[in-house]
């Protein structure tokens, strides 16, 4: 299916490698899953998960149409994803969000009132990230992404959910203008490496909008 250019960024930043075990935690309808599978050259396994069965049908159809051979599908609630299925070498977490980056396409934005951090959608995002981090192997990498710009759904979620074993890495995408993340918001000091969060603004790139963070996990001692 057709995707905005910026929708391809999270899978590129994840840098899948042949032979890895990778989780796409909120995968449907499967565009990013397909990118990951192709990058792995059918070696290794991509676990494509989504809580909604109807969306998994679309994912399965796309995988069959593209002839992808290394994709396994699961239908778990990501906030309670079985820990025994890990650890994963890499995880893509493209979370449900308010979709501010789609404004130029006339898609409505699902705003939440100010002051609701961790009580609404951002609470779900933080819980998903916390669960994903538990399933990531030491030395592994996780990409957290949204098609929105609100720090409440990006930097504040990363600041809340990540601990000392996490390191947000700078990224570079050739041909696109990137704006840095914020390290303070609404009077709150955030972890310094939130500056490495990358925002892709529609007016800077003539694309949709996206926010992406690459996070690496410490190797176990």
CA distance 160 to 157: 5
Do 25 and 124 contact (CB within 8 A), yes or no?
no
Beta bridge partner(s), residue 188 = 185
List all residues 6 or more positions away from 127 whose beta carbon is below 8 Å from its beta carbon.
79
Q: Is 161 helix (H, G, I), strand (E, B) or coil?
A: helix
Beta bridge partner(s), residue 203 = none
Catalogue the active-site residues. Answer: 147
Which H helix or E strand runs over 205?
helix 202-205
CA distance 10 to 174: 14
The alpha-helical segments, DSSP class H, found in the chain are 9-14, 31-39, 53-66, 121-135, 155-161, 202-205
Do 94 and 26 contact (CB within 8 A), yes or no?
yes
């Amino acid at each position: 299916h057709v995707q905005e250019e910026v929708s391809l960024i999270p899978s590129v930043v994840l840098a899948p490698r042949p032979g890895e075990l990778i989780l796409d935690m909120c995968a449907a309808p499967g565009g990013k899953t397909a990118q990951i599978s192709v990058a792995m050259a059918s070696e290794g396994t991509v676990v494509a998960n989504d809580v909604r069965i109807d969306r998994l049908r679309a994912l399965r159809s796309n995988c069959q149409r593209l002839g992808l051979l290394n994709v396994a599908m699961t239908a778990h609630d990501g906030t309670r994803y079985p820990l025994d299925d890990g650890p994963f070498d890499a995880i893509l977490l493209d979370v449900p969000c308010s979709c501010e980056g789609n404004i130029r396409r006339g898609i409505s934005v699902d705003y939440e009132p100010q002051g609701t951090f961790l009580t609404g959608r951002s609470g779900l995002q933080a819980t998903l990230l916390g669960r994903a981090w538990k399933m990531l192997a030491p030395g592994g990498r996780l990409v957290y992404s949204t098609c929105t710009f609100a720090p409440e759904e990006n930097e504040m979620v990363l600041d809340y959910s990540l601990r000392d074993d996490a390191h947000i890495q700078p990224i570079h995408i050739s041909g696109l203008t990137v704006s840095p993340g914020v390290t303070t918001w609404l009077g709150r000091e955030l972890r310094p490496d939130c500056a490495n969060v990358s925002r892709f603004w529609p007016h800077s790139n003539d694309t949709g909008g996206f926010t992406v963070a690459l996070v690496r996990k410490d190797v176990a001692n």
